[in-house]
Amino acid sequence: PEAFYSSGGILILNLLFVILFYKELKLATFDPALAATLGFAPTLIHYALMTLVSLTAVGSFNAVGSILVVAFMVAPPSAAYLLTDKLSRMILYSALIGIVSAISGYWLANILDASIAGSMATMTGASFLIVYLFAPERGLLAQARRRQNQRIEFALTMLTMHIANHTAAHEAELENEVIHLNEHLKWSPKFAMEIVGIAERTGLVNQQSGLLSLTEIGKQRAAQEFNT
């Protein structure tokens, strides 16, 4: 069919353009000033890329319709950007996500007896959602886990500094008791017990009869924080 040949021709043209001018595209896109200094023509490269994008969009509109064009131009690259900062890997991941979304969308349409274009577009959205949630560095779960770890690390630092500041015998019984941490450090009792448990497991503090004292590791950590 005509759409197959036109789409195949556009695919070959895109591949050749990216392969032959990969370094020039990368440099002109991310550092046009340096590209101009090195003798490239960043404006020419930019408009050549925009022309190719326009040609691809027009050809794809005729072949598959606007829904798929928008879905595949937005979702796979956005998902790939959440997975890596390296351009070559980003292009590869984007292509793989697009292929997987197209195949899974086609089979979903067959199973549900639904629109193929709609199913493929849905799968691109589902692919992006999965990556958005579970990406190793930039996913929502990874960010939440990182914030939680930072919160715990900060609390451990505050605990060691608090104990180190109140090592005198007349202060220790009042200031360094577990039951008083929520009062002095403004922690909830549950969070205080959680942090004390982590501090004990990591060898930062010892607890005897509810009274906390620093280990050598804890003293080193507190001293390091005081010196910074």
The one-letter amino acid code at 219 reads K
In the chain, pLDDT over 70 holds for what percent of residues? Answer: 97
Same structural domain, 111 and 147: no
Summarize pLDDT for 51-66 with one digit per residue, the tens: 999 999 998 888 888 8
Q: Give, for 206, the enclosing helix (H) or strand (E).
A: strand 205-208
With 80 as the cut, is the pLDDT of residue 42 above it? Answer: yes
In the chain, pLDDT over 90 holds for what percent of residues? Answer: 64
Written as six digits, the tokens of 134 are 């579970």
Same structural domain, 166 and 221: yes
> Can you give the pLDDT at residue 169?
58
Q: What is the pTM of this model?
A: 0.79
Query: Domain of 197: which CATH number?
Result: 1.10.10.10
For residues 120 and 71, the answer to whether their CB atoms sit within 8 Å is yes
Q: Which domain holds residue 4?
A: 1-64
The one-letter amino acid code at 105 reads G
Kindly state the DSSP code that residue 177 receives in the 8-state scheme: B
- Rg of the chain over Cα atoms, rounded to whole angstroms, equals 29
Same structural domain, 94 and 171: no
Same structural domain, 146 and 221: yes
For residues 58 and 69, what is the distance between their CA atoms, to the nearest angstrom? 9
Closest residue by Cα to residue 104 from 75, 145, 133, 65: 75
With 90 as the cut, is the pLDDT of residue 147 above it? Answer: yes
Summarize pLDDT for 155-203 with one digit per residue, the tens: 999 999 988 888 765 666 677 788 878 788 888 889 999 999 999 999 9
Look at the chain and report how many structural domains it folds into: 3
Q: Which of 14, 29, 64 is the last residue of a domain?
A: 64
The one-letter amino acid code at 95 reads A
Residue 123's CB is within 10 A of a number of other CB atoms, namely 24
Same structural domain, 133 and 150: no
